C-alpha cells in the first residue's frame, strides 16, 4: 500500500501527464481565454472569443456561445423598462393571501388588500 505523500505525488504526476495531453491542453487554453475575455472591460475580447466558438462547431463551448448570442439578440436583455413595480404588487398580494389562508372569505381579503395599498 502506498503512503499518503507518495500517493499525492503520483496523482500530481498523472494530472500533469493528462494536462499535457492535446485535448485537455486545448480545453485549458479555451478556459483561460474565456477568463481573460470576461475580465476585459470593453468586452471586445469576449466578442472575439464568442465568434471563435461559434465558428467551430466541435468546440466544447459552442452551445454556450449560441446561448449567449441568443440572449444578446433578445430585446428584453437591454430593455429600458422594468417590471419591478408590478412584481412588488404581486409579491405583496401573495403575502396577504398567505396571511389570510383559512381565516375568512373574499370580503375580508378585499379589505386587507385595500388596507395595505
Structural domains in the chain (count): 2
| Mean pLDDT over each residue of the chain, to the nearest integer | 77
Residues 6+ apart with CB under 8 A from 68: 50
Q: Does the structure show a pLDDT above 80 at 29? A: yes
Same domain, 56 and 31: yes
Average pLDDT over residues 89-103: 78
**Domain that includes residue 15, residue range:** 4-73
* This prediction's pTM: 0.47
With a pLDDT cut of 70, the percent of the chain lying above it is 76
Residues 6+ apart with CB under 8 A from 10: 2
Instruction: In whole angstroms, give the CA distance from residue 22 to residue 40.
Output: 27
Same domain, 10 and 40: yes
Neighbours of 1 (CB within 10 A): 4
Same domain, 65 and 44: yes
Q: Where are the alpha helices (DSSP H) in 39-83?
A: 44-55, 62-73
pLDDT in tens, 48-85: 889 999 998 888 889 999 998 888 887 665 667 777 88
Q: Is 50 helix (H, G, I), strand (E, B) or coil?
A: helix
Q: Is residue 79 one of the residues assigned to a domain?
A: no
Q: Is residue 53 one of the residues assigned to a domain?
A: yes
Cell numbers describing residue 50: 464568442
Same domain, 11 and 67: yes
Q: Does the structure show a pLDDT above 80 at 30? A: yes
**What's the pLDDT score for residue 1?**
47
**What's the pLDDT score for residue 4?**
52
Amino acid at each position: 500500500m502506498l503512503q499518503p505523500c507518495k500517493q499525492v505525488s503520483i496523482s500530481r504526476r498523472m494530472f500533469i501527464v493528462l494536462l499535457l495531453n492535446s485535448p485537455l491542453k486545448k480545453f485549458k487554453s479555451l478556459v483561460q481565454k474565456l477568463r481573460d475575455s470576461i475580465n476585459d472591460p470593453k468586452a471586445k475580447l469576449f466578442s472575439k472569443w464568442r465568434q471563435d466558438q461559434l465558428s467551430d462547431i466541435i468546440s466544447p463551448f459552442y452551445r454556450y456561445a449560441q446561448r449567449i448570442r441568443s440572449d444578446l439578440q433578445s430585446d428584453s436583455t437591454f430593455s429600458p423598462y422594468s417590471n419591478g413595480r408590478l412584481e412588488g404588487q404581486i409579491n405583496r398580494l401573495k403575502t396577504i393571501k398567505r396571511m389570510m389562508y383559512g381565516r375568512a372569505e373574499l370580503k375580508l381579503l378585499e379589505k386587507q388588500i385595500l388596507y395595505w395599498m
